[in-house]
Structures are given as C-alpha cells and as structure tokens.
Amino acid sequence: LRTPSRLLILADLLNIFFKGFVNELAEKVFPNSTYIIYSGGDDLLLVGAWNDIYEFAKIVANEFHSFTNNPALRISAGYFIGHSKFPFYQGVALANRALDGFAKENIGKDSISFIGEKLNFNTMNWKTLEKADELYSLLIELIEGKVSRALLFKLEQLLEIENLGGD
C-alpha cells in the first residue's frame, strides 16, 4: 500500500466514498434533518438533529467498513451535542477537539468521541457503541414494559457468571 499509485487509488476511493456515497446516503436516509457542510478526502462535517447525526455516524462507520473491507483502514468521529443557539464555529471546534484529542488517540483509533457543552468526553470504539445501543434498546423496552422480569433476572444471572469468569 506504500507505492504512489496505490496511495493515489486509495485517495480516489476515499474521495468517492465521502464526496459521493455519503452525500447520497444522507439525502436518502435523513433528507430533512442531516446537512453536510463539508465532505471530501477523508473528512466529513455534518449538522443536524442530535439523534439523526448519531444514527448517521453509525451507518457511515458500518458502510465505511463494508466499503474498504480492510481492518487496517479505520474511521474515527468527533460528535458534539449542543443547544441550537450554541455558536456553530465553537461547536465545530469542539467536535474537532473530540475527534483529534480523544477518538484518534483511542487504541486502534476506530472510535467515536462524544462531547457536550460542558466539555464532558466519552470515547468508545464502534463495536462497544453497538453493544451500548443494544443495552439502551433493552432498557427502553424494560421501561415501556415490553421485557419480562424473568428475562431480566436471567440476564442478571448470566452477567454474574460472566463477571466471575465461570460457566
């Protein structure tokens, strides 16, 4: 991958992914709530509803992994959550800080780092994020009464076994 021709091809493919595919994906999946401010090279700057941007970031990460089919190529994200009145340029700066200061420094890089107006950071890799989403969905179902207490009891037992290292 270190020859000039291979690097040029890789740069062109990344450009196709970020300038072409990601733009089409945003228009298709979140046409009225996700706005691409900049997309090119290996950079992407989005503005939109916090939950849609979050979902879109996960979709882009999954699509990137499928597109490259190469575990050596990773994607990192900085995610800023702010009030609609928060100055845009400051939000961009904080998202960059989340990306450069935390997500890219995470072991293996392949991570997303969240930051809010109070500058609290939380960084995790995409696989951990996927597990957190599953737990979040389970908790929502519990709150809405869609999960039986017997299932929760069984899950608690399995977690205890896992934590003890037994079977």
Q: How confident is the model at residue 167 (pLDDT cuts 50, 70, 90)?
A: very low
Per-residue pLDDT of 146-157, as tens digits, reads 767 677 677 777
pTM, rounded to two decimals: 0.70
Is the pLDDT at 166 greater than 70? The verdict is no
Q: Tell me the pLDDT of the chain averaged across its residues.
A: 79
What DSSP line would sit under the chain, residue for residue?
--SHHHHHHHHHHHHIIIIIIHHHHHHHHSTTTEEEEEEETTEEEEEE-HHHHHHHHHHHHHHHHHHH--TTS---EEEEE--TTS-HHHHHHHHHHHIIIIITTSTTS-EEEEEETT--EEEEEHHHHHHHHHHHHHHHHHHTT-S-HHHHHHHHHHHHHHHHT--
Per-residue pLDDT of 75-122, as tens digits, reads 888 888 788 888 988 888 888 887 777 666 766 677 777 765 555 556
Is the pLDDT at 66 greater than 90? The verdict is yes
Q: What per-residue confidence (pLDDT) applies to 24?
A: 92
